[in-house]
Amino acid sequence: MNNEAFVEFERVQKSYDGENLVVKDLNLSLPKGEFLTMLGPSGSGKTTCLMMLAGFETATHGDIRLNGQSINNIPPHKRGIGMVFQNYALFPHMTVAENLSFPLEVRKIGKSEREDKIKVALDRVQMGNFAGRRPAQLSGGQQQRIALARALVFEPELVLMDEPLGALDKQLRETLQFEITHLAHELGITVVYVTHDQTEALTMSDRVAVFDDGRIQQLAPPDKLYEEPENSFVAQFIGENNTLEGVVKEIKNGSALVQLDDGSLIDAKPINVSKPGERTRVSIRPERVEYNKDRLRADAHTLSAEVLEFIYMGDIFRTRLRVAGRDDFVIKTRNAPDQVRLKPGQQIEIGWLAEDCRALDA
């Protein structure tokens, strides 16, 4: 992976109706070989970005560069970008082999070379025996594999995937997630992947761009995104999250003291707050909450909580608490032999490490 920008968005804006911006001032650059996921709720502008990159939409303003060259005025068929669509878009009137042959034929590649490439591409997705079938004779997972093979068969350096696994069931999705990442790394291709499934984004990507309201809210590797969300939207959107609201009392030594709306005090790491008196939203991951006093630091602030619900989920326990006047506070504990199973109605004290608790924008 080199760090030279392969795909670049510079101050890109897009509007469909001339009144509202779907994409607002997008700046993004990714190096060759990276697997970047655009993640966001529907209407956040992520698919529009992908379509602009593919050439099916034109940017209202700004520059999109591929390999250092502006592609704003290059028609889609000359961009040489592979694309996998959500509904596969396999041509129903052609066999699997003909589908794969199509991009090679329009590139005027000779017959024998075509056949070799098709064979390699099909074997790569373990579909070597299906060359003569029609798309309608294949299952969803098989069709997706063929769509992938077709997007790769002409050896593009950049492949775009628009929610390719959206229509598949959970298990198949997980298998294909693994296969796609594997293939991408093996071939060294650059992938821009669009999804609204955060698990998919976290497990597959080198970096994830979280979209909301036409902007990238955070662009970071999965672990950083999960553990160090930069604003409350990202914290909410990625994974499960507990939110408490309050006012910053003081900030010192890289730690903030936050007074919650019910008056209780907690420690947090200041991220988007700078001075006392600011309102803030404090975010704590459910698995970082501790209720075993022995494991908490002696000077840590604790909150009293009432157990509302205990859910057994196999590998973990999920317990819902009432904390600081909110009853949607969730903690997750591992199903370990020594783990205490809380009972509804029980009163407990909860706490956490100050660095796990992030004071974000209100």
Q: Are 208 and 237 in contact (CB under 8 A)?
A: no
Tell me how far, at minimum, the Cβ of 60 lies from another protein, in Å. 20
Between residues 146 and 220, which has the closer beta carbon with respect to another protein? 146
Between residues 162 and 267, which has the closer beta carbon with respect to another protein? 162
Between residues 82 and 246, which has the closer beta carbon with respect to another protein? 82
Q: Which residues in 103-122 contact another protein (CB under 8 A)?
A: 103, 106-107
Query: Which of 91, 126, 139, 340: binder of another protein (CB under 8 A)?
Result: 91
Query: Which of 33, 80, 239, 276: binder of another protein (CB under 8 A)?
Result: 80
Stretch that binds another protein, among 90-98, 261-269, 288-296, 327-335 (CB under 8 A): 90-98
Number of residues in contact with another protein, rule: CB under 8 A?
Answer: 28
Question: CA 223, CA 193: separation in Å to the nearest integer?
Answer: 18
Between residues 86 and 199, which has the closer beta carbon with respect to another protein? 86
Query: Which of 12, 30, 71, 83: binder of another protein (CB under 8 A)?
Result: 83
Between residues 96 and 289, which has the closer beta carbon with respect to another protein? 96
Rule CB under 8 A: say whether 93 interacts with another protein: yes
Tell me how far, at minimum, the Cβ of 138 lies from another protein, in Å. 16
Query: Which of 55, 135, 222, 246: binder of another protein (CB under 8 A)?
Result: 55
Query: From its phi and psi, is residue 185 left (phi > 0), alpha (psi between -120 and 50) or beta?
Result: alpha
Between residues 160 and 248, which has the closer beta carbon with respect to another protein? 160
Between residues 42 and 253, which has the closer beta carbon with respect to another protein? 42
Tell me how far, at minimum, the Cβ of 197 lies from another protein, in Å. 20
Query: Which of 18, 68, 92, 337: binder of another protein (CB under 8 A)?
Result: 92
Residues with Cβ within 8 Å of 313's Cβ and at least 6 positions away in sequence, in order, are none
Query: Which of 89, 187, 300, 316: binder of another protein (CB under 8 A)?
Result: 89
Which residues here bind another protein, judged by CB under 8 A?
54-56, 75-83, 85-87, 89-93, 102-103, 106-107, 150-151, 154, 160
